[in-house]
Amino acid sequence: MSNISTISVARRERVAPSAWDGIALCLVAGTLALIIYGAQQMNAPLASVSKAQISLSPAALPEYALRTTLRMFAALAASLLFTFTYATAAAKSRRAGAVLIPILDVLQSVPVLGFLSFTVTGFMAIFPGSVAGAECAAIFAIFTAQAWNMAFSFYQSLRTIPADLDEASRAFRLSAWQRFWRLEVPFALPALIWNMMMSMSGSWFFIVASEAISVGNTTITLPGIGSYVALAIERRDLTAVFFALGAMLVVILAYDQLLFRPLVAWAQKFRFEQTMGQPTPGVWLLRVLNRARLVQIALVPVHKSFVAVAHAPLSFGRWGWRRSPLQRRWLNIGWGVIWWGLWALVGAYGLRALYVEMAGQIGWAEVFSAFKLGLMTLTRVIVLVGLASLVWVPVGVWIGLRPGLAMRLQLVAQILAAFPANLLFPVAVVGILHFGLNPNIWLSPLMILGTQWYILFNVIAGASAFPIDLQDAAANFRVRGRNWWFKVMLPGVFPYFITGGLTASGGSWNASIVAELVTWGNTRLEANGLGSYIAKATAAGDYPRIILGVMVMAVFVTLFNRLFWRPLHAYAERRLRMI
């Protein structure tokens, strides 16, 4: 009887609430309450937003911060869905990848604000009379600042899965669905989480523009930190700007502690290792959840449901009769003709529409001039990405090989990446004028201020995922100095650097539109380049020249990626898959 009573007491103690359950309950309840409140405000009547005035009072910042944060996380969820579908299709199908990857190259080169011109009207029509339409347009604008680097990261991970893991999945006869959730997503998680952090930080740059929606003669200013900063800059209220920066830092600290820090620690379990890895740094939120007994009991059904779905033997194989090799060959040829024929029709229609829009307004001389300006901007992009790589690759390796240091510097990196680089533009104008500097040279660094972090975050992810057994082997063979860099570490982080460099170069093209034409008061500085060409055409409302500038930029980005980054990516797939 004593043994039975002892067992029953032990069971009661395991399920009895504790102080940790109280802390976890407060965190969960508080988070849900904020989400529900923010969601209700985002579905309010449109008239209430049109009449409301943005207040520069610090007391309004908590609600503005909540609204901005919900938009950013809604965009992040959409970016994850886009990443899992688009990048997977591009990686799994050679025919689809031949089209989807160039489209992704073009999309990341299109200015974020350019998407708003054709999405606002559509979202407002879907939600007439509701602020939800404007909210969806703002979320979509933030989505376009987050999705591309996440998709590139996931695509790179799928294409560089180690050969032995691929063979093991086939030996165990995993279906396509099981392989996706049990091999591909876990292998890609470390890099994807760091790119999610970069996406959240990078989207702060576009918050100001995305929260001020213009539809015809109507301007809708959504409550948020971005609209608060826009009003503060308009009124030249530096105190309000500092209050907004303080609120932004609080928000970054909150989602770093509550989301990204636990995710980075949790993703360490998915590192590709053949020996015991380094211990995972402690995270206070994970300790709270591990000690909260009731929370663990409540999460058991959720965990079992997810495992059941992820392990379901779903198959996406071919249905129908058995085909001979000759039949399969002709079927592939037929599908290829249909696939490329459809894209040829789409391309022909687009070229015809552009010709009708631009005919009689733009001559060949201006087209050649736009390509000349594109070469100038291309030179700046190449030089800036090269210099940023020389700085941040060694720093990223140094941080990534030290998990404890990476956890401590994670917040600092997010804050630096999230700092609105456009707030430094007035300082650049004053400095260039004071010292009599050449704007063609000294405006160029502004293009890389917000995009250099793609390189740092991806290299940190690559160094963090570098197998411990390979590090130990290099140490045992006393590989040091130059040989350690060029034979061990750089090959290990090279696929991750390709992703960071590719997205950094695409982001620099995008940033050139605001960096090559900078104004402060009545003073305007201009650097010759395609970015300033598009900026001037946008300010004048000259749509044919806007279209020409964006087309030329898309051509340069696509060709540069195809001729430079894609061969490097193929080399990483071919020679570095074992890392």
What ranges do the domains of the chain cover?
19-314, 332-359, 362-579
The angle at the Cα of 201, spanning 198 to 202, to the nearest 5 degrees, equals: 80
Quote the tokens at residue 146.
Answer: 């987050």
Mean pLDDT of 135-163: 86
215 pLDDT more than 60: no
Mean pLDDT of 243-248: 87
Tokens 């040279």 locate to 441
| Rounded Cα–Cα distance for residues 49 and 492 (Å) | 51
Quote the tokens at residue 386.
Answer: 């090269």
User: Residue 266: which of 252, 293, 285 has the closest Cα?
Assistant: 285
Cβ proximity of 566 and 498 under 8 Å? no
SS3 147: helix
| Per-residue model confidence (pLDDT) at position 340 | 66
Query: What is the dihedral sign for C-alpha 110, 111, 113, 114?
Result: negative
| Rounded Cα–Cα distance for residues 9 and 4 (Å) | 9
The angle at the Cα of 36, spanning 131 to 253, to the nearest 5 degrees, equals: 100
Cβ proximity of 410 and 261 under 8 Å? yes
pLDDT tens, 368-413? 998 999 999 999 999 999 999 999 999 999 998 887 777 777 778 7
| DSSP at 299 | H
Residues 111-144 as b/e (b if ≥16 CB within 10 A, e otherwise) read bbbbbbeebbeebbeebeebbbbbbbbbbbbbbb
pLDDT tens, 339-377? 667 767 766 766 676 666 666 677 778 889 989 999 999
Cβ proximity of 459 and 242 under 8 Å? no
Mean pLDDT of 221-241: 81
User: Residue 151: which of 104, 205, 184, 189 has the closest Cα?
Assistant: 104
| Per-residue model confidence (pLDDT) at position 378 | 93
1 pLDDT more than 80: no
Backbone angles phi, psi at 20, to 5 degrees: -65, -35
Quote the tokens at residue 280.
Answer: 């995972």
Residue 577 burial by Cβ neighbours in a 10 Å radius (0-12, 13-18, 19+):
middle
> CB-based contacts of 502: which residues, under 8 Å, 6+ apart?
152, 561, 565, 569
Give me the CATH topology for the region 362-579. MetI-like fold (1.10.3720)
Quote the tokens at residue 467.
Answer: 């197998």
pLDDT tens, 440-483? 888 888 888 878 888 998 898 888 888 888 888 888 888 888 88
**Residue 447, beta-bridge partner list:** none
Architecture of domain 19-314: Orthogonal Bundle (1.10)
**Residue 519, beta-bridge partner list:** 524
Integer angstrom CA distances of residue 193 from 196, 284, 449, 483: 5, 19, 22, 30
DSSP string, 347-412: HHHHHHHHHHHHTTT--HHHHHHHHHHHHHHHHHHHHHHHHHHHHHHHHHHHHHT-HHHHHHHHHH
**Percentage of residues in the chain with pLDDT exceeding 90?**
9
pTM equals 0.77
**Residue 45, beta-bridge partner list:** 130
Backbone angles phi, psi at 53, to 5 degrees: -110, 140
Residue 245 burial by Cβ neighbours in a 10 Å radius (0-12, 13-18, 19+):
middle
Count the Cβ atoms, other than its own, within 10 Å of residue 190.
26
- pLDDT category of residue 508 using cuts at 50, 70 and 90: confident
| Amino acid making up residue 75 | A
85 pLDDT more than 80: yes
